[in-house]
A and B are shown apart, each in its own frame.
Chain A
Amino acid sequence: EDQVTQSPEALRLQEGESSSLNCSYTVSGLRGLFWYRQDPGKGPEFLFTLYSAGEEKEKERLKATLTKKESFLHITAPKPEDSATYLCAVQAASGGSNYKLTFGKGTLLTVNP
């Protein structure tokens, strides 16, 4: 069974204090790893897709990286508006239902001014 574990559950940073969020996964062949951002009362907003180990993607202050066992979301010099829950999800390559996303429980990031 595919599993996704995110850590820490919650992270509080000061504005400008860089850090990383972790997403560990076990999947029967990775088709894609997805990062989403979710604000309170809203649906998840797509950030990145990573497909193979060694791949990196960047968007503003965020950079996502991928290894064979985990992904990191690095946040450089965060601002209060980066406060949100960050969700990681995997899509398996094998089996007949490889469109399903298996999500972790998320990391709640709070950035204080």
Chain B
Amino acid sequence: GAGVSQSPSNKVTEKGKDVELRCDPISGHTALYWYRQSLGQGLEFLIYFQGNSAPDKSGLPSDRFSAERTGGSVSTLTIQRTQQEDSAVYLCASSLTGDTDTQYFGPGTRLTVL
């Protein structure tokens, strides 16, 4: 079946602009995660959605970052007033439920802030 999809695959923006990154999880998966992979660093947890529960936003690095998940499916990660240090690959994952279910990753969005 279809895996996790993300768009765009690449995004180049200028410092100070806002960007939106989209994630379509695997159909039927109730849990959705965003991670960030910076050059030379491990994947860093950003945010977690599970069903209709309040999201865990504890990994968001600043208040310029926000995310929403509409209808329990598609999610959008928004970065306002982008900075050069936001340049990274943003990865989305989904799992059947939360807990120990395997997280399946999308291909990522490579964000470059000039």
**A residues engaging B (CB < 8 A)?**
4, 31-32, 34, 36, 41-46, 49, 51, 87, 89, 91, 97-106
Contact = CB atoms under 8 A, between A and B. Distances in A.
Contacts of B93: 43
Given A43-B4, A97-B56, A106 B102 contact: no
Nearest to B10: A41
Interface string B8-45: 00000000000000000000000101010000111111
Given A34-B102, A49-B102, A43 B107 contact: yes
A4 B42 contact: yes
Nearest to B104: A46
Contacts of B102: 34, 46, 49
Contacts, number: 63
Given A45-B105, A99-B48, A104 B42 contact: yes
A44 B105 contact: yes
Contact of A105 (B4, B31, B41, B95): B41
Interface of B: 4, 31, 33, 35, 40-45, 48, 50, 56, 58-59, 91, 93, 95, 98-100, 102-108
Of the listed residues B4, B100, B108, the one surrounded by the most CB atoms of chain A closer than 10 A to its CB is: B100
